[in-house]
Structures are given as C-alpha cells and as structure tokens.
Amino acid sequence: MGYRAILFEANKHIATITVNRPQKLNALNIETIKELHHALKKANENKKTKVIILTGSGDKAFVAGADISEFADFNEKQGKQLAAQGQELLFNFIENLSKPVIAAVNGFALGGGLELAMACHFRVASDNAKMGLPEVSLGVIPGYGGTQRLPQLIGKGRAMELILTAGMIDAKQALAYGLVNHVTTQEELLPFCEKIADKIANNSPVAIGTAIKAINAGFKAGVNGYAVEIDLFGKSFETDDFAEGTSAFLEKRKADFSGD
Ligand code: COA
C-alpha cells in the first residue's frame, strides 16, 4: 500500500511511522487514521520489528488534533461514528498491540494528537512540545479516549483542570505530571527513543507482548488485573522464550530470542 499521509521506515528492529501532513500540522483526518492503522498492523506483524516509534513530520507539531475541517458539520450520529471508528482503528488498536509503541512528541500534541500519544505505551517529548486537550474550546469533548487516558496518566484533578481550561502544558510540566517519561532537545528526540528501543529489543518479544497485555488489563473495566497476571505469568512458562531466557542465564550467555 502506498501511503499519502504518513511515512513508514523499517530499520533493523525499529519501525518508525511519521504522520506527514506538515502543512496541516499533521492533523488526523480519516485517511491518516486508516493509513496509521495499516502501517501499525504491518509493523506489528513483521517478525524483525521489535519496537515502533510514532512521530510527526516537521519541527512544529507531533499532531495538532483531529482534522477540524472534516467534522465541522457533523451531527450526533456522525460524531459517535467518528469517535467509535477512530478508537477502534487507531487508539485502542495501538494500546493493545503486542509490540511497544513509543510516541516521540516533537511539537504540538493537541486534542487527537495528545490522545494518540496517550494511546502509545509511553511518551518522550522534545523541549518545544506543547500538550493539551482543547476540545471544549470548540464545543465538543475529547472523543479518542482523552477523558479516560489523561486521568489514568496524570490523575483526575490535573486532567479535569487541563480539559476544562482547554489549556496547554509545556514539556517540562508534562514531565512533572508524568505524562511524558523524558524530555530531550529536538535533535536528540529520535536517537533517544531509538536507544530505549534498543534496550527493549534485547528482551523476549513474547514476554513483552504479554507484559503489555497484563498492564493494560488493570485499566479495563470489570477485569481483574491480578488474575490476568497470574494466568499470563503461568502461560509464560510454556514459551520458547522462557526456555531460552532461563537457559541463557544459567549458561552465562546472552539470550537469543530471534527464534532462528
Ligand atoms: N485541524 C485542521 N487543520 C489544522 C488543525 C486541526 N486540528 N491544526 C492546525 N491546522 C491547520 C491550520 O488550519 C492551518 O492551515 P492553513 O494554513 O490551510 O490555514 C495550518 O494547519 C497551520 O496552522 P496555524 O493555525 O496557522 O498555525 P499556528 O502556529 O498559528 O497555530 C496551533 C498552531 C496548534 C496553536 C493552531 O493550529 C491550533 O490551535 N490548532 C487546532 C488545535 C486544536 O484545537 N486541536 C483539537 C482538535 S479536536
């Protein structure tokens, strides 16, 4: 599939996906959401790829939100469908991928852009980044999971304030809130994320996928995360990666999880 709105680059164990509509500050229209879904699925299914990095093109924006021009005349039914389709194809899809997705937040991450970063497994920001959920200033509310994931990540009171004021926080504040894990210069952002990806890539891909599942379980309504952990912990003992990881440790050698 040829992409129009994104760039896809696979290099050794890292797939880098870049939202590429810089003239619109990388705003997410439906086409971009579909292309991101396709590229993420492809990266997740590629055996060589161990980590996915998601970023925006240019030095100004990660993603400045859902494309406002696309939904300006929507009614209730269309609004619901927009949110449901986006959550299924992109936001929940990313959260539940078995490969880690790191958001490299290289500038504005607003509305759907911050929601996209929050759906990723964790976030690193450059020092020029600005984040917020300004939807109430447009007369709507966040619809791509923002009212749920922002309180999970920074706490209910801070999320209430950020959403209700439609305000923006800078990278330093986002770091203090725990919304991003690290802040770097713009030049260092991708190399820094790649270094974290290299560390992840040394570990068992099967166990990594399982850990993501167990961590996510604790945030799903009606699911007992501890019970899911017990179940998945037990299942780990039946995997080839467990056999390899433990024997490598006992034989004092580096584990080889390539499966070759
Ligand atoms: N949807 C559609 N287009 C968008 C967009 C969005 N979310 N965000 C930016 N753009 C477009 C602008 O319309 C403009 O297009 P144009 O050149 O054809 O007029 C272009 O991107 C550049 O943006 P501009 O507003 O000129 O840049 P700026 O530096 O003055 O301001 C922002 C930057 C991020 C503060 C401003 O673009 C903004 O507030 N964007 C909307 C953020 C938002 O509310 N997101 C939540 C949506 S639910």
Residue 168 Cα distances to 27, 107, 194, 219, 260, angstroms:
17, 12, 27, 26, 48
Can 187 be counted among the known catalytic residues?
A: no
Query: Which amino acid makes up residue 134?
Result: P
Residue nearest to atom 20 of ligand 1 (CA): 24
Query: With a threshold of 0.95, does the pTM exceed it?
Result: yes
Catalytic residue among 9, 45, 70, 135: 135
Q: What is the pLDDT along the chain (260 residues), one digit of tens a residue?
A: 799 999 999 999 999 999 999 999 999 999 999 999 999 999 999 999 999 999 999 999 999 999 999 999 999 999 999 999 999 999 999 999 999 999 999 999 999 999 999 999 999 999 999 999 999 999 999 999 999 999 999 999 999 999 999 999 999 999 999 999 999 999 999 999 999 999 999 999 999 999 999 999 999 999 999 999 999 999 999 999 999 999 999 999 999 998 77
Domain extents for the chain? 6-201, 205-250
pLDDT at 259: 78
Closest C-alpha to 208, from 125, 122, 140 = 122
Pocket test of ligand 1: the residue of 25, 131, 150 to mutate, having most ligand atoms within 8 Å of its CB, is: 25
Lining residues, ligand 1, CB within 6 Å: 24-25, 27, 64-69, 108, 110-112, 134-135, 138
45 Cα–ligand 1 center, Å: 34
Residue nearest to atom 27 of ligand 1 (CA): 25
The CATH classification number of 6-201 equals 3.90.226.10
Paired with 8 in beta bridges are: 17
Residue nearest to atom 15 of ligand 1 (CA): 24
Residue 2 burial by Cβ neighbours in a 10 Å radius (0-12, 13-18, 19+): exposed
Closest C-alpha to 255, from 205, 197, 195 = 205
